[in-house]
Amino acid sequence: MKLLRYGEPGAERPGLLDAEGRIRDLGAHLGDIAGPALSDESLARLRALDPAALPLVAGTPRIGACVGQIGKVICVGLNYADHAAETGKAPPAEPVLFIKATSAVCGPNDAVEIPRGSEKTDWEVELGVVIGTKAKYVSRDEALSVVAGYCVVNDVSERAFQSERGGQWTKGKSADTFGPLGPWLVTRDEVPDPQALGLWLDVDGVRRQTGSTARMIFGVADIVSYISGFMTLHPGDVIATGTPPGVGLGQKPPVFLRPGQVMRLGIDGLGEQRQAVIQGA
């Protein structure tokens, strides 16, 4: 299934994308695509519905983040060896973890704001993993069973805030609009191998990133198991699994986002995002 949330910010409704690419309303069956609605049992009930019997949503509403009420967004840094190399860092021996503030999360086609004082705002297409079952110390063999599904993430980053202002990476990752999610949550039954997905990102029509999740240093099962050893994962938590090479910081010379530019990005089978870049207040 492809699940989504549509409507104005803060008033999104749950929906399902039917086989013809039309939005069907799920409001009679659940309050939001969040928390308990992401369990295997809940998803099985939704899967049993006849999409043609669900109300058809008219027009082209705004698409919100594909998951609501997110408890935490955990990001994995330097998870592609070629990306680590372009940033001048060695591939890590263990997953590098940091947190992105949930207030950064926005819809997949919402404008991305360059924050006040920024000169190095950058792009990062990533595979997002959405947790469906509470997990603590989950084994690698069982790790994928706690995943509800997958989505596209743009882990927008301000490199000077991240690396030149002291402390950890979170301050460079958490500005408003720095976490577009979606357009939809694709349930795990439709993604038989999360390590066989192509990723790409364009800026103003120029291809900047091309990669495959096959080139991750730590695969999804390893990441989920590893993180669950440090913190309990809850339904609706999102993991951003790292970015392939081609970020602005890695260009020679480095190239960063400017107001007026447009990012387009996508992952095989998971849909596309489009964000206009604007100057934040």
**pLDDT higher than threshold 80 for residue 167:** no
CA distance linking residue 44 with residue 222, whole number of Å: 26
Q: What percent of the chain has pLDDT over 70?
A: 100
Strand order in the sheet with 206-212: 112-114, 271-279, 262-267, 198-203, 206-212
Q: pTM for the complete prediction?
A: 0.96
**pLDDT higher than threshold 80 for residue 205:** yes
Going from the N-terminus, what domains does the chain have, and what CATH number goes with each? 2-53 (no CATH), 73-279 (3.90.850.10)
CA distance linking residue 3 with residue 240, whole number of Å: 18
CA distance linking residue 99 with residue 23, whole number of Å: 32
Bond prior to 61 in cis (omega within 30° of 0):
no
Is 261 in contact with 180 (CB distance < 8 Å)? no
Is 103 in contact with 178 (CB distance < 8 Å)? no
**120 pLDDT band (50/70/90 cuts)?**
very high
CA distance linking residue 169 with residue 159, whole number of Å: 9
Residues 59-115 pLDDT 10s: 999 999 999 999 999 999 999 988 878 878 788 999 999 999 999 999 999 999 999
Residues 99-118 pLDDT 10s: 999 999 999 999 999 999 99
